[in-house]
Chain A
Amino acid sequence: KAGVTQTPRYLIKTRGQQVTLSCSPISGHRSVSWYQQTPGQGLQFLFEYFSETQRNKGNFPGRFSGRQFSNSRSEMNVSTLELGDSALYLCASSLEGWWGTDTQYFGPGTRLTVL
């Protein structure tokens, strides 16, 4: 099975712009989660989607949004970019999203740099 893929791998944007990141989960996985990783804050949970519905959300401002399509592919969008949004954005997929027993498989990430 192909792993989780994320596009693009690298992105450079300027403050005020918006960006859309894409994630294709492992075939058959219905849950997709997004994380932001920065040196200062570490790995932080953004949100999780299951069957096109957002089930969980972390403590991020409304500038961060996402969606999931019927084929389980997911996108996340960040509007009005700020310098602090520079980070590695990781997507993870799992069968059902029950993290207690459901292993999450991570993609390679998208490195976003905001200038």
Chain B
Amino acid sequence: SQQGEEDPQALSIQEGENATMNCSYKTSINNLQWYRQNSGRGLVHLILIRSNEREKHSGRLRVTLDTSKKSSSLLITASRAADTASYFCATDRASGGSNYKLTFGKGTLLTVNP
């Protein structure tokens, strides 16, 4: 079953606008990560936020985490056509012992129109 669920499933905006994607999860986590995937290719790691952090920035990316609501948001500011991709949140949870596995949501397809 999916741990993370992104919302919306698809988002279409104009270049220069901001894009916000949300992720909700079900069980307690240690960290939450966001990945980007361009058209059926490999995933690219964007940012990791720990459970004791509330907000993190990286360039044009801003991620927030609300552990009480079990949700996270990814904001991309001043979007560009090159930001067109699918965005996934991934959460970790213990799978026995001290090792963890990443569980991905189904992603948000972002289209940035020039």
Q: How many residues of A contact B (CB 8 A)?
A: 27
Q: Is the CB of A105 within 8 A of B45?
A: yes
Q: What mask results when residues 92 to 109 of chain A are scored 1 for a CB within 8 Å of chain B, else 0? A: 100001111101111111
A104 touches B102 (CB 8 A): yes
Contact partner, B43, options A56, A90, A97, A98, Cβ 8 Å = A90
Q: State how many angstroms separate the Cβ of A100 from the closest Cβ of chain B.
A: 5
With A42-B106, A43-B88, A100-B100 already in contact, the answer to whether A106 and B42 are too (CB < 8 A) is yes
A56 touches B95 (CB 8 A): yes
Q: How large is the interface on B (under 10, 10 to 19, 20 to 34, 35 or more residues)?
A: 20 to 34
Are the C-beta atoms of B107 and A42 separated by less than 8 Å? Answer: yes
Complex Cα–Cα for A37 and B64 (A) = 26
Answer yes or no: A75 CB below 8 A from chain B CBs.
Answer: no
Proximity string of chain A (41-64) to chain B, C-beta cutoff 8 Å, 1 when within and 0 when not: 011110010000001101000000
Cβ of B114 within 8 Å of any chain A Cβ, yes or no, is no
User: Is B87 an interface residue, CB under 8 A from the partner?
Assistant: no
Interfacial residues, chain B to chain A (CB-CB below 8 A): 2, 30-31, 33, 35, 40-45, 48, 50, 88, 92, 95-96, 99-107
